[in-house]
Structure 1
């Protein structure tokens, strides 16, 4: 695919996923809304301007069902008011399996998912 066909040069496909989640650190917990999600990170919206330490490690917990959840360790990469971009620093095998399934269902194309997975390991 050449750049004219795909002007978005991201290595990972983001899925728009408006869902409530919880972000926590050692001493705080915040409710947030996931704006979008990828294998490499997420964009979150808070009810207040984000003024927390960007160098801290945070844990995002997204409950998909009673039996399934996604848990990722994140660091902040950029802040614009109450929207914060986070990079995934660590994700366990169960969470990556759930996230993979979620991304695959939303992309509707397993070839795109495989491309994202290859980019993740590069």
Structure 2
């Protein structure tokens, strides 16, 4: 599947908040631009250290007691944007992401589409 076709397959939502990117004992904050089951795009932070050959964790706070946590890998980078591929996500985070997509797309069947997308990869 081409990269463009894969991007279209996943429902992406613009979601402007902070994300923490952690690798080993180092972390940085970045502005989240959009998110999907496939991964996320962030604005390139001013100062960061990422080794592309090692796994990372992206944590997106939703409230004081809810967050989306993904194990990610760096898929692409530029001066302005870093793209991360979702390697794994826990069931609670899937539920939060499902609800986020449902609310932001404003479509009743968006949540079912998100689950279908996820199950298609299993």
- Give the TM-score normalised by structure 1: 0.83
User: Which stretches of structure 1, 4 residues or longer, exceed 6 Å deviation after superposition?
Assistant: none
Deviates most, 81-90 or 28-37: 81-90
Shifted more, 52-61 versus 12-21: the winner is: 52-61
Tell me the distance in 2 between the aligned counterparts of 1:80 and 1:9.
18
The question of whether the paired residues in 2 share the 8 Å contact of 1:31 and 1:46 is answered with no
Structure 1: where are the runs of 5+ without partners?
1-7
Residue 116 (structure 2) aligned to one of 93, 115, 118: 118
Instruction: Specify the structure having the higher radius of gyration (Cα).
Output: 1
Q: Secondary structure at the match of 1:116?
A: helix
Aligned match of 2:54: 56
Asked whether the 8 Å contact 2:34–2:41 carries over to 1, the reply is yes
* CA distance in structure 2 between the partners assigned to 1:9 and 1:93 by the alignment: 22
Residue number in structure 2 paired with 1:86: 84
More helix by share: 2
Counterpart for residue 3 of structure 2: none
- Tell me which of 32, 36, 39 is aligned to 1:38: 36
| Root mean square deviation, CA, Å | 2.0
The alpha-carbon distance between structure 1 residues 10 and 44, as it changes in their structure 2 partners (threshold 3 A), is same
Give ranges in structure 2 of 5+ residues lacking alignment: 1-5
Provide TM-score, normalisation by structure 2. Answer: 0.83
| Cα offset, 1:63, TM superposition | 1.2
How many residues end up aligned between the 2 structures?
115
SS in 2 for 1:110: coil
Q: 1:25 aligns with which of 16, 20, 23?
A: 23
Shift in alpha-carbon separation, 1:43–1:9, aligned structure 2, 3 A: closer
Shift of 1:51: 6.2
